[in-house]
Amino acid sequence: MINQTITLTKDTYTVLSALGEGGQASIWKVRRHRDHREFALKSILISTVNKKGHPSFINNKAVTDNCRRANTEIEFLRALANNRKVFIVPCLDYGVMKNERYGDLPTWVMPLYPETLESKMPPYPEGKSLPDFQHCLNWMKQAATALHATHSTYHNKKVFVHRDVKASNMMLTEDQEIRLIDFGIVHETQLNHETKTYSHSPASAAPEQILASSRDQEKGYYSMGTYSDIYALGTVLYRLFTGQHTDAQFLLNNKDTLASHIEKLKEDQVGLIGKVGGLSDDEYKTLYYEVQSRLEDNSTVHNDTLISSVTLNSARQGLPNPQHAAESSADFIRDLLHKAYQKRPTAQDIIQWCNSLQATLSPTLDTLQLTSPQQTLMLGQALQLTLTMEGKGLPANPDWIEFSVNGKPLTNTTYHLQNTNAHYGLIITPKAQWLIHYPASNEAKTLRFLAEASIGGTRYHDSISITFSPSADDLWDQGQYQQALINELRPEWLDQRLDTCHDLEKAFQYRALLETLKQSHPDQTNRLDLYLTKLRERFEQPPSPKKPLKTIIVSLILIIISLSSWFLWQKTPSQQHSIPQLQTDLNGTEEKNQRIAWKQLNRLSQSEHSQAAQTVLDDFTKTSLALIKSQRQQSQQQAIPRLQLMAQSDNKTAMIALADYYYAQSIATHWGKAWQWYHDAEAKNKQESLEKTANALLHNKTSDPKQRQLAYQVVEKSARSEPAGDAAQQWMEYRYRTGDGVDIDLDVAQQWQAIYNGKQ
């Protein structure tokens, strides 16, 4: 063919020399006539040279099969929208080349590349250093981008698998960018939605491409998938770093493996592929140390990019990014070679991981913030904090963050990365949250938590103080008997208060206390009724003949109290006489009587006789707030209608208490209520904090569906209250368009989009 002139669709070329040949095609260097630039031309292989050096023509059937594959390759390359961005060799020109023996042979033209990735494999020529880590990472990302484009290309509802991914098929441009070539055996495959693999004949397939399937085995068909390309890329990367093949690859390359594998598939639908693959412990260690060595030599990793703890003790001194990156790289490449093909990452996963790892080499931290939904707690109660971080390239373990409480390092605390925003030890989202679980403690009434970190010599920190309420014993010692008994109902304390009832006034106060306790401890109603009976018996027992004088004195006291009560009733019949009954109704369970008592007591509190009414209201408020902060679910449920009654009178403290309660509940239907109460109470900071939490949950596509439901409650409340153009309205459009937790409803989605655009 040398010096032959070939005219294709766009241009005419002269063949200069042979560049090489494979099992199906031959490659030639050609010169384009119009500008004398040199390119590579790929044509169908029609002859080979035998051992004696004589040419031997290929049979017609083989040439026909090769022509079919060549046409598939040309059609595939022409279908790609942008060859450069997807790092796949472009088809610059195409057509047919006339041949007297075989007729029209498909031919196409590509750029002439100086070398392949094979030239970068260890051992490297003397005097030249191995490619640094950044180059290897770029090649990995570019190869994954090419495979993603391949696996995402559809034709007649079929997708493509390359099936021949290897270093010699990855050309390198002058700018050291990869161009994936040789799509000669690219296979259009019909997706089996049950197994997520593809059926095909095992002809022209490597052993690792033939996977187990329950379909068509009797016909000799087995499943193939995009994961076979992923496995092949994993072998390229392992060799790029170590200069070696894995033991599993040696086995798969054995000429007898294919037959053995297919035979084993008939027996157990696992075959050899279920028994080879992955990395041994020694292979993993070799990979880890080779990657770490490249990273340490990487000129892009400087001291100012290192992430470290702010403490200088030897156990936690400076955790440089190369350590995290090497471990993440070894883990990820090991999964590319996983024995179970279903567990291998996709090409898109590889791209995402590469982006995260590149960010790790130049990390940034924009926000470090400690928050807690629990602002006040009882001593002895466990605590949960949230550490929110915004930045990039952050390790997904807590070793680089120093936590302390009241100036002492935290040693007995557990950490959890919320919503699993991590990928192979790297945080993959710009915003991530750590949950910090601090155990119960009785050491201090106020705890100041501090989080500190250092990146490139810059310190970041945030703190939060949590106030613990006194224990029941402390409250009792301080004389706060009612609050102590609400927290913990002790018989000995009830007996002590009963012993103080020496007159009717004390008895009335004790009776009111017991009625209040029945609301906070509904499961102890029988016990409390027993104390009411004891109280009644104390003041209603018959006169004793042995103590006539005492009986007379008591009777006189009762007469005096009765006369006093009658006199007061005559003076203010609508006020003084009604307050005890109003207090009973207010602390009762009948909602209608409770509302009436609340209104009347508030009216009375504004009159000249306001002290008694205000005292009842203050006690009611204190009791309600204490109930909602109790750890007893029954007490909290009892507090809700009481706080709602207060909130309806524009009591912002009650609104915030309700919102805090609903926010702390991990049950569907609660976060929307929390947002509404924060909004009504004008608690902007808490409202914005809840919105940020909801937004972070929705951005993380792996978040728990129940948590996403809670987040959407907040988003919908915000979307309905904000003017057009708010991001919450776009979230609602996304939810109904994609069916995120609801049935897809494009009409509703369009309505939300219209609201966002300001049309409604």
pTM, two decimal places: 0.61
Dihedral sign of CA atoms 722, 726, 730, 731 in order: negative
Residue 194's pLDDT band (boundaries 50, 70, 90)? very low
Strand spans (E) along 393-481: 402-405, 408-409, 414-417, 422-423, 426-427, 431-438, 446-455, 458-469
Q: How far apart are CA 62 and CA 231, in angstroms?
A: 29
What pLDDT shows up at residue 407? 86
Contact 237, 336 (CB under 8 A): yes
Q: How far apart are CA 624 and CA 139, in angstroms?
A: 64
Q: Based on the number of CB atoms within 10 Å of its own CB, is 23 exposed (0-12), middle (13-18) or buried (19 or more)?
A: exposed
Q: How far apart are CA 288 and CA 553, in angstroms?
A: 94
Instruction: Please state which CATH number belongs to domain 5-112.
Output: 3.30.200.20
Contact 657, 627 (CB under 8 A): no
Mean pLDDT (the chain) is: 79
- Reading the block at residue 628, the tokens are 């909602």
Lowest mean pLDDT among 227-231, 471-475, 507-511, 722-726: 471-475
Half-sphere exposure of 318 toward its Cβ, with a 13 Å CA cutoff? 8
Contact 699, 689 (CB under 8 A): no
* Spatial CA neighbour of 690 closest among 381, 409, 286, 371: 371
Name the DSSP class of 214. Answer: S
Q: What is the pLDDT of residues 659-695, one digit of tens each?
A: 888 887 655 568 888 888 888 888 888 888 888 888 8
Contact 246, 238 (CB under 8 A): yes
675 Cβ partners below 8 Å, 6+ apart?
659, 687, 690, 691, 713, 714, 717, 718
Q: What is the pLDDT of residues 469-526, one digit of tens each?
A: 777 777 787 788 888 888 788 888 888 888 888 777 788 888 888 888 888 888 888 8
What's the rounded mean pLDDT across residues 696-725? 84
**Alpha-carbon distance values, 747 to 201, 493, 750 (Å):** 46, 63, 5
Whether residue 309 has pLDDT greater than 80? no
CATH 1.10.510.10 assigned to domain 116-360? The reply is yes
Q: Based on the number of CB atoms within 10 Å of its own CB, is 547 exposed (0-12), middle (13-18) or buried (19 or more)?
A: exposed
CATH 1.10.510.10 occupies which residues in the chain?
Answer: 116-360
Q: What is the pLDDT of residues 344-353, one digit of tens each?
A: 899 999 999 9
By percentage, how much of the chain surpasses pLDDT 70? 78
DSSP calls for 339-379: SSGGGSPPHHHHHHHHHHHHHHTS-EEEEEEEE-S-SEEET
Q: What is the pLDDT of residues 5-57, one digit of tens each?
A: 999 999 999 999 999 887 788 899 999 999 999 999 999 888 877 666 677 78
What's the rounded mean pLDDT across residues 573-582? 61
What pLDDT shows up at residue 554? 58
Whether residue 231 has pLDDT greater than 80? yes
Whether residue 196 has pLDDT greater than 50? no
**Alpha-carbon distance values, 19 to 2, 168, 425 (Å):** 11, 14, 44
Residue with tokens 């508030």: 602
Query: Taking the CB of residue 716, how many other CB atoms lie within 10 A of it?
Result: 18
Contact 412, 382 (CB under 8 A): no
Helix H or strand E encompassing 719: helix 705-721
Whether residue 197 has pLDDT greater than 50? no
Contact 322, 296 (CB under 8 A): yes
Higher pLDDT, 538 or 749: 749
Give residue 85's identity as a one-letter amino acid code.
Answer: K
Give residue 730's identity as a one-letter amino acid code.
Answer: Q
CATH 3.30.200.20 occupies which residues in the chain?
Answer: 5-112
CATH superfamily, domain at 380-418+430-468: Immunoglobulins (2.60.40.10)
CATH 2.60.40.10 occupies which residues in the chain?
Answer: 380-418+430-468
What's the rounded mean pLDDT across residues 618-627? 84
Residue with tokens 């509904």: 522
Q: How far apart are CA 300 and CA 10, in angstroms?
A: 44
What pLDDT shows up at residue 634? 74
Whether residue 225 has pLDDT greater than 80? no
What pLDDT shows up at residue 51? 66
